Amino acid sequence: MRYAYYPGCSAESTARDMHQSTLAVARALGIDLVEPKGWTCCGATAGHQTDRLLAVSLPAANLTKVQDMKLDMVVNCAACYSRMKVANHEIAAHSEIRKGVREALDRDYDGSVKVRHLLEVLLEDVGLEAITKAVKHSLNGLKVASYYGCLLVRPPKILKFDDPENPTSLDRLVTAMGGTNLEWPCKVECCGGGLSLSRTDVVVELTGSIIDMAASVGADCIAVSCPMCQVNLDLRQQDINKQTGKNYQIPIVYITQLLGLCLGIGSGDLGFNKLMVPASVVLEKVNERA
Amino acid sequence: MITIKNKKNGQGLKSAVEEISGVDISVCFQCKKCSSGCPVAKLTRSRPSEIMRQLHLGAGNELLESDIIWMCASCETCSARCPMGIDVAAVIDALRKLALERGASKQKGNVPLFNRAFLKTVETFGRSYEIGMIAAYKLGTGKLMNDTEKFPAMLKKGKIALLPPRGGDRKIVRRIFKTIKQNKGAKA
């Protein structure tokens, strides 16, 4: 299993923990991840809010690098994943966009590089059976609320990732790891995404209702697979508490961090020390070994 | 309630939106699924379905002052749930572009400034650089110390990178920005 792995900009900053745990889990499961040399930003939300051609050309610069590697692209950041797939779609569906991208890149690209989310690789290529077998330490019934956010599932017609209203990819992994998978209604609600700094008030409102719901279903932690969701839900709990007088301390962990623990990888190698809300409840549960 | 003001200064808002987004506004039949699912609709003065209706009825530049244009989180729930397959989020993106081109007023949070700060770091380093972007944005808003109390802890934990990213192919990214700016110049 060999893939071109696009880490995305946050992998070098606010999502180092996602990056670190992705690499550790891949190594443990025999997934070979090769970074495209000189990969660049996908443009994220700022890109498509500014200019359609910019929003397609920036991902295309990376897709052509991967095309030269003759591999499929694997992405773990939900936002990058969505932008890459939308760019492929736009280029394949609209000749004038393809022409604009050709001008911007000085190279023609047909939108054909296959883009996959790491969760798809884990569930489809590695498989739940192999993952269950590789699990050394169980989550011991840890109550996990799986949170998918927006860009892992939207736009559904283009991404075709799981069920867009009730996805279960994270849930299935949680069950395979011996966790208690919680039913809750906020799986694909929005955390406020890129408004984190510009409209913090909106983000505190949106993350507040998600954290509220997770607490009311008794979640020990929330499992995510998107750096924007992770940062917003993790960082803003302090603000939510300040605003509402509550005292939420729900750890927001990447699914790769949970999986890493279960595969026997040390928490230090999975970036657990980087979380703002400490994940001690998670670490204690996994350490409850019979 | 939807109020349509006179449109003497708003020539072609609907057709301009349709051209930029590739969306056919007229197929919207006001089922309001977009507004029901919109996470920010409870906070905004106008809702996505109202924007669609106003465009349909011939609204002009006054629509570019709607708060939802810059409070929309680009979650794309509206587009995903539209029974007519309208990409409502692309309509909002088009309105953002028009708001900037036609000089609509600045709104709370100054999202365009944030976007420019973000993209400037991408253009400079090939990858986004959070601290550089945050500094540029905060300098621009004049609220330097707003929301900075978490930085020391984030830096200590290594939750945010201090130094700018290296290793990104700056050449290709600069070429992209340059070409798109040039094309814009040619069109104007």
3-state SS, chain B, equals: CCCCCCCCCCCCHHHHHHHHHCCCHHHCCCCCHHHHHCCCCCCCCCCHHHHHHHHHCCCCHHHHHCCHHHHCCCCCHHHHHCCCCCCHHHHHHHHHHHHHHCCCCCCCCCHHHHHHHHHHHHHHHCCCCHHHHHHHHHHHHCCCCCCCCCHHHHHHHCCCCCCCCCCCCHHHHHHHHHHHHHHHHHHC
Whether B121 maps to a domain, the answer reads yes
A182 is written with which tokens? 């919680």
Domain, as residue range, for B167: 111-187
Query: A203-227, pLDDT tens digit by residue?
Result: 999 999 999 999 999 999 999 999 9
Task: Identify the domain boundary among B57, B73, B101.
Answer: B101
Boundaries of every domain in chain A: 2-117, 136-287
Q: Do A193 and B73 touch (CB under 8 A)?
A: yes
Q: What one-character DSSP code corresponds to residue A137?
A: S
Contact residues on chain A for B161, CB-CB shorter than 8 A: 12-13, 16
Q: Which residue of B has its CA nearest to A50?
A: B97
Grade residue A54 by pLDDT with cuts at 50, 70 and 90: very high
Residue A3 confidence (pLDDT) above 90: yes
* Per-residue pLDDT, B188: 46
Q: Are residues B90 and B116 in the same domain?
A: no
* Per-residue pLDDT, B186: 65
User: For the domain that residue B45 is a member of, what is the CATH number?
Assistant: 1.10.1060.10
* Per-residue pLDDT, B1: 59
Q: Look up the CATH number of domain A2-117.
A: 1.20.1050.140
**What is the separation, in whole angstroms, between the first and last Cα of chain A?**
34
Whether B56 maps to a domain, the answer reads yes
Whether B106 maps to a domain, the answer reads no
Mean pLDDT of A166-185: 98
Instruction: Give the amino acid at A199.
Output: R
The sign of the CA dihedral B63, B67, B68, B73 is: positive
Q: Is the pTM of this model over 0.80?
A: yes
Whether B86 maps to a domain, the answer reads yes
Grade residue A287 by pLDDT with cuts at 50, 70 and 90: confident
Looking at the domain A136-287, which fold is it?
Rossmann fold (3.40.50)
Q: Are residues B93 and B138 in the same domain?
A: no
CB B73 within 8 A of CB A195: yes
Whether B130 maps to a domain, the answer reads yes
How much is the ipTM here?
Answer: 0.95
Total domain count, chain B = 2
Size of interface A-B (CB pairs under 8 A): 179
Q: Are residues B90 and B27 in the same domain?
A: yes
Low pLDDT (below 70) residues in chain B: 1-11, 185-188
Whether B2 maps to a domain, the answer reads no
Q: Are residues B94 and B24 in the same domain?
A: yes
Query: A131-150, pLDDT tens digit by residue?
Result: 999 999 999 999 999 999 99
Which of B119, B125, B148, B178 should one mutate to test binding to chain A, selecting the residue with the greatest count of A CBs within 10 A? B119
Q: Are residues B116 and B87 in the same domain?
A: no
Task: Identify the domain boundary among B67, B101, B135.
Answer: B101
Q: Do B119 and A45 touch (CB under 8 A)?
A: no
Whether B5 maps to a domain, the answer reads no
A92 interfacial to chain B (CB closer than 8 Å):
no
